[in-house]
Amino acid sequence: MSKSYIKTGLFYIGIAAITILPLIVFLWMFLTGLKTQMDNLAIPPKIIFSPTLQNFKSVFAQNNFLKYLFNSFIVAVFAVAISLLFGLPAAYAIARFKMHKIGLTLLIARMIPFISYLIPWFIIFRKLRLVDTYIALITTHLIITLPFIIWIMVNFFENVPISLEEAARIDGCSYFQVFVRILIPVVRNGIFTSSVLGFIFSWNQFLFSLILSGNRTMTVPVAVFKFISYEEINWGGLAAAATTITLPPLILTLFIQKHMIKGLTSGAVKG
């Protein structure tokens, strides 16, 4: 009896020890953001200090951070919306008509080093006067979101029993009507999951935004570098900004955690 208690206790201690690892980094990031520059430069690092919200305040006050958050939001939302518009029918066709080769070719888009998109795209967008516009950023972010959403949704469509469609078609529905009225509601969990994941991937994108955004459309992963100033690295400001930009993906994760595991794993498990 007592032996099994010890065993259970050890198991939970083991779990706690493992689980602290992902958490402690976020905790340290947050605490660094709460310290003044002098506290951050103290040796050894101060565990006890009087926290200040100054870094977080200046993130929003000095550097127009709200605008950059808004930019990231707009780009991610539109990239996801357009990806759904084009990706859902494609995913359905791939699943229903077994066009897996086409599915695989879509993945090639992800395999191309993003860096090799940069110069050609920059030239095109310049010619079209689209650099530093949402259109340019959204278009490039489709590279990430569209194949991903198709890839996830294929699995969801494959799980829909074909009898459901056939029954509807006997009732006189066209393929398109079946798709919109029957299938979309059935796979809504998948749509939700893939949308949120697509949103997170777009939100986190750095390289495209570095080159193709400007003052008006700069997204947060690029804007965070504004805290590396000419004179010294502002640890508190950087940590506060890092906390701020990574908070939205973390909160979204809380909302979709169950579906997210499914979304990330279903592709892999079914492959």
Partner 1 sequence: MRKTVFLLVLLAAVLTSPLFAGGKQESAGTKKAASAGFDWKAFEGTKIKIMVNKHPWVDIIKPKIAEFEALTGMKVELSIYPEDQFRTKRTVEMVSGTSDVDVFMLMPGNALAQYVQSGWLAPLNGLMKSKQYLWPDYDLNDIYPAALNAGVREGKNYTVPLLLETSLLAYNKDIFAKTGVTVPKTMAELESVAKKIYESSNGDTYGITLRGKKASATSQWVDFLHSFGGEWLDSNGKAAVDSPEAIAATEFYGKLLRLYGPKSAPSNSWYESISIFMQGKAAMVYDASVFKPNYENPEKSAVSGKVGYAIIPKGPAGSIPHVSNWGLTIYSGSKHKEAGWLFIQWATSKAIALQGQLAGIPSARASAWSSPEFKSKDSSPEWTNASIASYKVASPLWNPPVIPVGECRDAMGSAIVASILGQDVKAASREAAKTIDKILANSK
Partner 2 sequence: MKNRVRYTFILPALILMTIIVAFPIIYNLYMSLHIWFVASGSGPHWNGLKNYIALLSDKRFWNSIRVTIIFTVGALGSEVLIGVLLALFFNRQFKGKDIIKTIFLFPIAATPVAVALIWGMMYNYDLGIINVLLKAIGLPPLLWLADPKWVIPALIITDAWQWTPLILLIVLSNLESLPTDPFESAKVDGANSLQVILYITLPMVKPAIIVAAMIRSIDAIKTFDLIYVMTQGGPDIASENLNLYIFNMGFSYFRMGMASTLAIVLFTIVMAVNVFLAVIRNRDVT
Chain positions contacting partner 1, by CB under 8 A: 37-38, 41, 43, 118-119, 122-123, 126-127, 129, 210-211, 214-215, 222, 225-226, 228-233
Contacts (CB under 8 A) with partner 2, residues 72-101: 86-87, 89-90, 92-94, 96-97, 99
C-alpha span between 120 and 201 (Å, rounded) = 22
Stretch of 6-14, 49-57, 63-71, 186-194 lying at the interface with partner 2 (CB under 8 A): 6-14
Residue 242 found at the interface with partner 2 (CB under 8 A): yes
> Whole-number minimum distance, CB 40 to partner 1, in Å?
11
Residue 205 near residue 144 (C-beta atoms within 8 A): yes
Among 1, 6, 111, 162, binds partner 2 (CB under 8 A): 111
Instruction: Please give the structure tokens belonging to residue 164.
Output: 């459901």
75: Cα within 13 Å, side-chain hemisphere: 36
Among 62, 159, 177, 253, binds partner 2 (CB under 8 A): 253
Residue 263 near residue 193 (C-beta atoms within 8 A): yes
72: Cα within 13 Å, side-chain hemisphere: 28
Stretch of 53-61, 63-71, 102-110, 187-195 lying at the interface with partner 2 (CB under 8 A): 102-110
**Binding partner of 92, given partner 2, partner 1, none, CB within 5-8 angstroms per partner class:** partner 2
**DSSP code string of 178-219:** IIIIIIHHHTHHHHHHHHHHHHHHHHH--HHHHHH--TTT--
Residue 6 found at the interface with partner 2 (CB under 8 A): no
